[in-house]
């Protein structure tokens, strides 16, 4: 019996099921069906069924980051979180919100704004448009942190609780709905950044921030790396507290962008200490580009790398990527994160070796599907791989959660 029919017979109206289309493929591998549980209970039952029936499943929110990871070794079912999109509780007093994993971040942000708060996660792309309407669960599963990480933190810092459905039928409830919680092990950290390989995140409790009184953008163009890096270090080492500081190179040259949030007097004082800004339109675009280089393109040959390096090594690696032929390079100056986009396949091994020698890591976020082996995407397994394997066996003994996509083919 076809998987589609089996799902319909097993779950009826509790799970919306349809045949898979070409747009549901992951790295050119198309599943047999797409299933969208209508609530958390249905999601738990579906994951348990997949475990029993050995149905390999990959979870998808908006799909904006679905290509991150190695090519799946098995892929039967695409699990959509589109119906797990309710706001469960907004606790303005504790500055937290609990919502389903499938809610779009911009929708969640609009809801909590009524209480004078905002979601401190980046979810924009170049030009300020919404980045694939990224979902809460997707961003948490990838631990995706944009350029404002330096001020507001990454999902690993902001998630205070979550629920995850496992392939053995368990529903893990980690953390709590309050910020101060020190009891027991912090299981949140296991699922944040697990890329769906341990289970399906169904619900997240996130720390919020109060809306700032003022926000200002600053932008400058440079003709050389030395000048741009010098200005970036002046901001980092000086009397400034930027929410965002990014050096971006493309066909338009070198551009350094900064954003300052907070009390109006403080924001204005910091802007006044800097050289005159370039045009406001360009600054707005550049500072909205918190996920620069992470949008999907029609060019299947495009390669996108993300390196995380010690702060003082990041600038030299960014220049190395430029010399290697990157069409776009973006360095988040305060975090040591560098994104590089190539229009043709570069020497990934040499760039990774340079990153490792500098004390960092490199991940291939996008590449032609046939080449996306675990070693290319993540690098060779390191000393902690045995622990990752034990965790995989503990939480996904059936090995049906995104098999083959993580480090070492987990």
Domain-embedded: residue 298: no
Based on the fold, state whether residues 382 and 254 are members of the same structural domain: no
Domain-embedded: residue 314: yes
pLDDT at 59: 98
| Token pair of 253 as six digits | 């040259």
CATH of the domain at 384: 3.30.465.10
Based on the fold, state whether residues 326 and 400 are members of the same structural domain: no
Based on the fold, state whether residues 134 and 7 are members of the same structural domain: yes
Find the domain containing 228 and state its range: 214-288
- Determine the number of helices (DSSP H) and then strands (DSSP E) in the chain: 14, 18
pLDDT of residue 200 exceeding 60: yes
Based on the fold, state whether residues 32 and 134 are members of the same structural domain: yes
Domain-embedded: residue 297: no
Mean pLDDT for all residues in the chain: 89
Integer Cα distance of 72 and 326 in angstroms: 27
The CA-atom distances, in angstroms, between 115 and each of 78, 95, 321, 401 are 36, 9, 43, 37
Based on the fold, state whether residues 116 and 246 are members of the same structural domain: no
Query: Mind listing the pLDDT tens digit for each residue in 201-215?
Result: 999 999 999 999 999
pTM above 0.95, yes or no: no
**Spatial CA neighbour of 398 closest among 9, 14, 24, 55:** 55
For residue 178, name the pLDDT band (cuts at 50, 70, 90): low
pLDDT of residue 247 exceeding 50: yes
Domain-embedded: residue 294: no
pLDDT at 150: 82
Based on the fold, state whether residues 13 and 115 are members of the same structural domain: yes
Based on the fold, state whether residues 356 and 384 are members of the same structural domain: no
Domain-embedded: residue 295: no
**Domain boundary residue, one of 260, 288, 316:** 288
Note the Cα 37 to chain centre separation in Å: 23
Based on the fold, state whether residues 53 and 177 are members of the same structural domain: yes
pLDDT at 179: 60
Based on the fold, state whether residues 267 and 396 are members of the same structural domain: no
DSSP state of 380: S
**How many domains does the chain divide into?**
3
Percent share of the chain, pLDDT over 70: 89
Integer Cα distance of 325 and 316 in angstroms: 15
Based on the fold, state whether residues 317 and 400 are members of the same structural domain: no
CATH of the domain at 233: 3.30.70.2560
pLDDT of residue 184 exceeding 90: no
Query: Mind listing the pLDDT tens digit for each residue in 131-154?
Result: 447 999 999 999 987 778 888 999
pLDDT at 39: 98
Integer Cα distance of 35 and 78 in angstroms: 6
pLDDT at 267: 96
Mean pLDDT for 341-369 is: 95
3-state helix, strand, coil in the chain (%, to 5): 30, 25, 40
Based on the fold, state whether residues 356 and 400 are members of the same structural domain: no
Query: Mind listing the pLDDT tens digit for each residue in 289-324?
Result: 333 333 334 344 489 999 999 988 999 999 999 999
| Token pair of 264 as six digits | 């109006």
Least confident of 237-251, 299-313, 383-397: 299-313
pLDDT at 288: 38
Based on the fold, state whether residues 153 and 48 are members of the same structural domain: yes
Q: Are 203 and 100 in contact (CB under 8 A)?
A: yes
Domain-embedded: residue 296: no
Largest CA distance in the chain: 70
Per-residue 3-state assignment (H helix, E strand, C coil) for 27-88: CCECCCEEEEECCHHHHHHHHHHHHHHCCCEEEECCCCCCCCCCCCCCCCEEEECCCCCCEE
Percent share of the chain, pLDDT over 90: 76
Domain-embedded: residue 383: yes
CATH of the domain at 309: 3.30.70.100
DSSP state of 15: E
pLDDT at 224: 92
Domain-embedded: residue 253: yes
What is residue 191's three-state secondary structure? helix
- Give the residue with greater pLDDT, 163 vs 294: 163
pLDDT at 312: 82
> If you write DSSP's letter for every residue of 273-298 in order, what string do you get?
TSPPP--HHHHHHHHH-TTTT-S--S
pLDDT at 148: 84
């Amino acid at each position: 019996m076809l998987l589609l029919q089996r799902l319909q017979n097993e779950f009826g109206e509790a799970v919306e099921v349809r045949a898979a289309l070409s747009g549901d493929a992951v790295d050119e591998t198309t599943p047999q069906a797409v299933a969208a549980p209508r609530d958390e209970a249905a999601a738990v039952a579906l994951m348990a069924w997949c475990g029993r029936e050995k149905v390999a499943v990959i979870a998808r929110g908006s799909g904006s980051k679905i290509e991150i990871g190695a090519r799946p070794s098995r892929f039967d079912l695409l699990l959509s979180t589109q119906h797990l999109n309710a706001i469960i509780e907004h606790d303005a007093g504790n500055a937290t919100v609990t919502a389903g994993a499938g809610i779009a971040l911009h929708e969640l942000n609009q809801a909590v704004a009524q209480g004078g708060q905002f979601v401190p996660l980046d979810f924009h792309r170049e030009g300020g448009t919404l980045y694939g309407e990224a979902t809460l669960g997707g961003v948490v599963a990838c631990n995706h942190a944009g350029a404002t990480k330096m001020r507001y933190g990454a999902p690993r810092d902001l998630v205070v609780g979550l629920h995850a459905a496992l392939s053995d039928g368990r529903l893990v409830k980690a953390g709590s709905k309050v910020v101060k919680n020190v009891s027991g092990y912090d299981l949140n950290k296991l699922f944040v950044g697990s890329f769906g390989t341990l289970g399906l995140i169904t619900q997240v409790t996130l720390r919020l921030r109060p809306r700032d009184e003022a926000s200002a953008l600053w932008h400058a163009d440079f003709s050389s790396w030395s000048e741009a890096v010098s200005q970036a270090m002046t901001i980092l080492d000086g009397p400034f507290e930027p929410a965002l500081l990014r050096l971006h190179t493309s066909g338009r040259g070198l551009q350094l962008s900064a954003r300052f949030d907070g009390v109006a007097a403080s924001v204005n004082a910091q802007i006044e200490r800097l050289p005159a800004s370039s045009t406001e339109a360009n600054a707005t675009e550049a500072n909205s580009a918190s996920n620069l280089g992470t949008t999907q393109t029609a060019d299947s040959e495009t390669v996108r790398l993300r390196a995380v390096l010690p702060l003082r090594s990041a600038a030299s690696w960014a220049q190395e990527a430029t010399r290697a032929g990157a069409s776009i390079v973006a360095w988040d100056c305060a975090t040591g994160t560098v994104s590089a986009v190539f229009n043709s396949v570069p020497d990934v091994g040499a760039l990774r070796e340079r990153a490792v020698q500098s004390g960092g890591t490199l991940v291939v976020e996008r590449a032609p599907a046939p080449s996306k082996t675990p070693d290319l995407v993540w690098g060779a397994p390191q000393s902690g791989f045995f622990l990752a394997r034990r965790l995989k066996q503990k939480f996904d003994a059936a090995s049906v959660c995104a098999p083959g996509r993580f480090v070492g083919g987990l």
